[in-house]
Amino acid sequence: MKNKNLKALLFLLPAILFLGVFMVYPLIDVLIYSFEEGYNSASQSFFGVGAYNYSYVLHDTYFLQALKNTFIIVIITVPVSTLLALLISLGLSSIKPLRNLFQTVYFLPYVTNTLAVGLVFMILFKKTAYTDGLVNMIIKMFGSGPIDFIDGPYWAKMFVMCFYTVWVVLPFKILILTSALASVKEDYYKAAKIDGTPKFRTFYKITIPMISPMIFYLVITGFIGAFKAYSDEVAIFGTDLNAAGMNTVVGYIYDMLYGDSGGYPSYASAAAILLFLIVFTVTVINLMISKKKTVY
Amino acid sequence: MKKSTSKQATKIRKADSVLMKTVVYIMLGIWALIVLFPFYWMVLSSLKSYSAYSSEFTPKFITLEPTLDNYRSAFTEVPLGGYFINTVFFTLATTALMLFVTIFAAYAFARIDFKGKNLIFSLFLALMMIPNELVIITNFVTVTNLGLRNTFSGLILPSVASVFYIYLLKENFEQIPDELYRAAKVDGTSDLKYLFKVMIPVCRPTIVTVIILKVIECWNSYVWPRLITDDPAYFLVSNGIQAIRESGFGRENVPAMMAAVVVISVPLIVLFLIFRKKIMEGVSRGGTKG
């Protein structure tokens, strides 16, 4: 028996070591940081313990802006992407020819580098001195003036942001929903057909309940992912997100940690814990709703 | 009479379903276009010469004089080749180390009866809920204090252990019947030999899945490399593209930027087209994005 314990320890040692140093210790440390007031990263000293860091972060206009942006992104992209994914998956499962081709195409954004393709999106939407950009060209055809999507009005920027986010997150959702739809038993549909049930009713009474666990799974992971939005923003608006007014909470954390405005791990920690609390609360609420509504 | 109306009804229903199908195809086609267009645009722009690109007030959808000059400048004017090699090395090293850690941990949880196994496993699972953003702050400080900024160890080490992959592999290892293990034990096979001769070959599909997911994650990683490197000699492609965008080829040389974007995107797309089934299966089993 002893021999076995030793062996297990040996096998687990690398994992425990890595997780201990890079996950467990940081977890405790981040809590401590967040309550240390006036922490100085050069001398590694601080002069008090309390909630000052939290109050600083909550009164920082950059944080409030980031929080607002993050919430808008979450509220727009999660429902839009989930609905769109549902529509596309329904379309996909109703056809046979070309289905594989479409599926392959739809999955492409998943395997591309967000930073790289974000640059293409920026080019498509950007208005510069010598060109209005492709999107503006199309808008012009409908008789509207050019809009500066990258450096212009807030909602134009937010539109690009949400559009790109949806573009990036859809592949995963389509993939999950198509396989969920494929796993609904054919018998149910046959029975409904024999009973002469209208298509819409079949969809509402059979399809949706059968795939509801997967929809909730996507909504929950979608919320979590959207709250952590950051690299997509950098991809479109560059690293100085505060200047663009498009920062997110995660972006705020990194800015506090590093870069021109960095060097404040305590503020970063406080913001990170606030974000964690928000995500945690939203996830718990989601789980509670899904328990009530889902049919298993 | 009755027969003919029912015939007519089927005809109408058929026409209806043809119409439905057409609408579905058009819808799917539009979304496919939206997905593909940025890829088309980046390849197209990368083939236009700088002067041709800048003289187009209205962007053109084709180019009659394709040039590879931009690809040349992508590799000569900015250290794209270096970013590329860095990323390949980072991806391979991280994935290899991750596999080593994951396989041994999964084996211990699946096959060895040791004291406190359930407790330790539950603790591992609890770690799965911890978001990266929470631990990255201390990791940044740790790595900085260890003097590992701008080194590959600093880049690689924090992303080696992944509880989720351990969990995935452990579940798979447990599906292999116990009898096989006991028989091997009776024959005097060591755990290590059993692991390498039986478990790993049998669970190859899951291991391949884990490798694929990790490779995608590594190739696209941006946040941690950005925090931990400010020396371009250690940039990965994501940071490289960001550096190129902010100070690369003179601010407005879009065609050269697009050439760099193409170069960065191609490896994963090729990988995807080769292992399409495997990748989609793997992602639906254990992937998320973001």
Mean pLDDT of chain A: 87
pLDDT of the residue at B290: 36
Distance in Å, alpha carbon of B180 to nearest chain A alpha carbon: 19
Residue A21: list chain B partners with CB under 8 A: 142
Query: Is the CB of A113 less than 8 angstroms away from the CB of B242?
Result: no
Q: How confident is the model at residue A230 (pLDDT cuts 50, 70, 90)?
A: very high
In order of A211, A212, A217, A236, B110, the CA distances from A290 in angstroms are 12, 9, 9, 34, 32
Rounded mean pLDDT, A99-121? 91
Query: Is the CB of A22 less than 8 angstroms away from the CB of B135?
Result: yes
Distance in Å, alpha carbon of B58 to nearest chain A alpha carbon: 7
Look at residue A170 and tell me if it is in a domain: yes
Look at residue A246 and tell me if it is in a domain: yes
For domain B78-248, give the CATH superfamily: MetI-like (1.10.3720.10)
Rounded mean pLDDT, B273-290? 76
Asked whether residue A188 carries a pLDDT value surpassing 90, the answer given is no
- For residues A36 and A48, give the distance between their C-alpha atoms in angstroms, rounded to a whole number: 6
What's the predicted TM-score (pTM) here? 0.89
**Please, what is the angle between helix A249-257 and helix A265-293, to 10°?**
160
Beta bridge partners of A45: A40
Name the more confident of A4 and A278. A278
Residue B192, chain A, CB below 8 Å: the answer is no
Find the domain containing A215 and state its range: 61-293
Residue B40, chain A, CB below 8 Å: the answer is no
* Nearest-by-Cβ selection for A113 from B100, B219, B271: B219
Asked whether residue A109 carries a pLDDT value surpassing 70, the answer given is yes
* Nearest-by-Cβ selection for B238 from A113, A134, A272: A113
Contact A287, A60 (CB under 8 A): no
Nearest CA in chain B to A262: B227
Indicate if A5 and A70 belong to the same structural domain.
Answer: no
> Predicted ipTM?
0.88
Indicate if A124 and A242 belong to the same structural domain.
Answer: yes
Rounded mean pLDDT, B117-133? 87
Look at residue A56 and tell me if it is in a domain: no
Residue B139, chain A, CB below 8 Å: the answer is yes
Residue A234, chain B, CB below 8 Å: the answer is yes
For B33, the 3-state DSSP assignment is: helix
Query: Is the CB of A119 less than 8 angstroms away from the CB of B284?
Result: no
Query: Is the CB of B41 less than 8 angstroms away from the CB of A134?
Result: yes
Cα A21 vs. chain centroid, distance in angstroms? 27
- For residues B124 and B75, give the distance between their C-alpha atoms in angstroms, rounded to a whole number: 44
Indicate if A197 and A260 belong to the same structural domain.
Answer: yes
pLDDT of the residue at A39: 67
Between strands A48-49 and A36-37, the pairing is antiparallel
Nearest CA in chain A to B42: A120
Beta bridge partners of A37: A48
Rounded mean pLDDT, B242-250? 76
Indicate if A173 and A26 belong to the same structural domain.
Answer: no
Indicate if A46 and A74 belong to the same structural domain.
Answer: no
Domain total for chain A?
2
Indicate if A233 and A196 belong to the same structural domain.
Answer: yes
Query: Is the CB of B142 less than 8 angstroms away from the CB of A179?
Result: no
Rounded mean pLDDT, A32-59? 78
* Residue ranges per structural domain of chain B: 2-70, 78-248
* Nearest-by-Cβ selection for A94 from B24, B32, B158: B24
pLDDT of the residue at B1: 45
Taking only the tens place, the pLDDT of each residue in B48-89 is 888 888 777 777 787 777 888 889 888 888 888 999 999 999
What tokens does A49 get?
A: 């313990």
Asked whether residue B249 carries a pLDDT value surpassing 80, the answer given is no
Indicate if A39 and A160 belong to the same structural domain.
Answer: no
Look at residue A55 and tell me if it is in a domain: no
In B, residues 57-76, which contact A (CB 8 Å cutoff)? 57-59
